Amino acid sequence: MADNARVLVVGTGAIGSFYGAILSRAGARVDVVSRSEHAQMQEHGVRVDSKELGDLSFRPATVYKDVTEVSTPPDFLVLSVKVLDDLDRAALIRPAVGPDTAIVLIENGIEIEPPIVEAFPDNPLVSCLAFVAASRVGPAHTEHKAYGRLVIGSYPSGVNDAARRFSALLEQGGINAPLSENLVTERWRKAVWNAAFNPVSVIAGGASTKDILGSENEERLLVALMQEVCDVAAAAGHPMPEDLPEKSIVNTHKMPAYHNSMALDYIHGRDMEIEAILGNVIREARRLNIPVPHLETVYGTTKMLQRRIAAKNAEATS
């Protein structure tokens, strides 16, 4: 029994393409918005290769150049753009949001829901955390490397009907999509790893997990960073297991060498989600009066690096 849900994917990077493909496979009608790859997607569809799941390529029902072209509001608007300072995500999606549209966030970071909730207080919100290794390998071409699990919930807690229906769709599409009553807690759990490993990977020059592990002295730094995130999470009402930092080091050692999203953005000269992944943790720490000197240091230095890259790029294009 297929769910003929109408889905609009805004943000067709690796994440949006992969989950768009899964939703299409589940029988949903999937439209996408892409300005830069419009012609490519129009002609060839969205290519998604997966070792594990085979060829997931799909043809969107409609490829829009811009959200303003959308005339029929979707049942699910999947927002999978990067969370960046200079992008007003609420304004971006507003033209396509109808009164019954569920807004689905598949995005990284902490406290990324509030601007959407404030802009669309009457729409169901579905907040998701992706555990997936996928990356863009060419125009309209994504490679799915491993994993794929999507943890789904409402915000700030609980599970609404939209979340349930969205989860069912993804399970239908062949991936694990568990519902969580405490999605914000899950975001904090993921932030423990992300807020430590992401900026450090960037500072180390766009390094893989393998590159930055291996020195006991330096691993202590990663533990210290993760412990600070745990301190903030606990103060914010989301206590983590006591051994999570140490355990995360052990588990990361077991994973194949892996470039996290910020490291990939850094390597490819793209904007990095410093604020969503790290800045928002620090703002929570300040609000709750939790000292986070290690986090403040990687935050400050990563910002300097970003500012310097931006200045260089501006120079190169002027």
- Is 205 one of the binding residues for a copy of itself (CB under 8 A)? yes
- Which of 161, 218 has the CB closer to a copy of itself? 218
Restricting to residues 145-204, name those near a copy of itself by CB under 8 A: 200, 203-204
- Is 211 one of the binding residues for a copy of itself (CB under 8 A)? yes
- Which of 91, 311 has the CB closer to a copy of itself? 311
Which helix H or strand E contains 184, and what residues bound it? Answer: helix 183-203
- Which of 114, 300 has the CB closer to a copy of itself? 300
- Which residues, at least 6 apart from 267, have a Cβ–Cβ distance to it below 8 Å? 206, 259
Whole-number Cα distances in Å, 280 to 144, 229, 284:
29, 11, 6
Report how many residues bind a copy of itself under the rule CB under 8 A. Answer: 28
- Which of 180, 209 has the CB closer to a copy of itself? 209
Which residues is 77 bridged to in the sheet? 8, 103
String of contacts with a copy of itself for each residue 263-302, x by CB under 8 A: ------------------------------xx-xxx-xx-
- Which of 117, 204 has the CB closer to a copy of itself? 204
Within the chain, strands assigned E span: 6-10, 29-33, 47-50, 54-55, 63-64, 76-79, 102-106, 125-138, 141-153
Which of residues 14, 309, 315, 318 is near a copy of itself by CB under 8 A? Answer: 309
Which of residues 94, 220, 268, 287 is near a copy of itself by CB under 8 A? Answer: 220
Cβ contact 30:58 at 8 Å = yes
Strand, helix or coil for residue 206: coil
Cβ contact 28:6 at 8 Å = yes
Whether cis (ω within 30° of 0) applies to the bond prior to 156 is: yes
- Is 218 one of the binding residues for a copy of itself (CB under 8 A)? yes
Contact footprint for a copy of itself (CB under 8 A): 200, 203-205, 207, 211-212, 215, 217-218, 220-221, 224-225, 293-294, 296-298, 300-301, 303-305, 307-309, 311
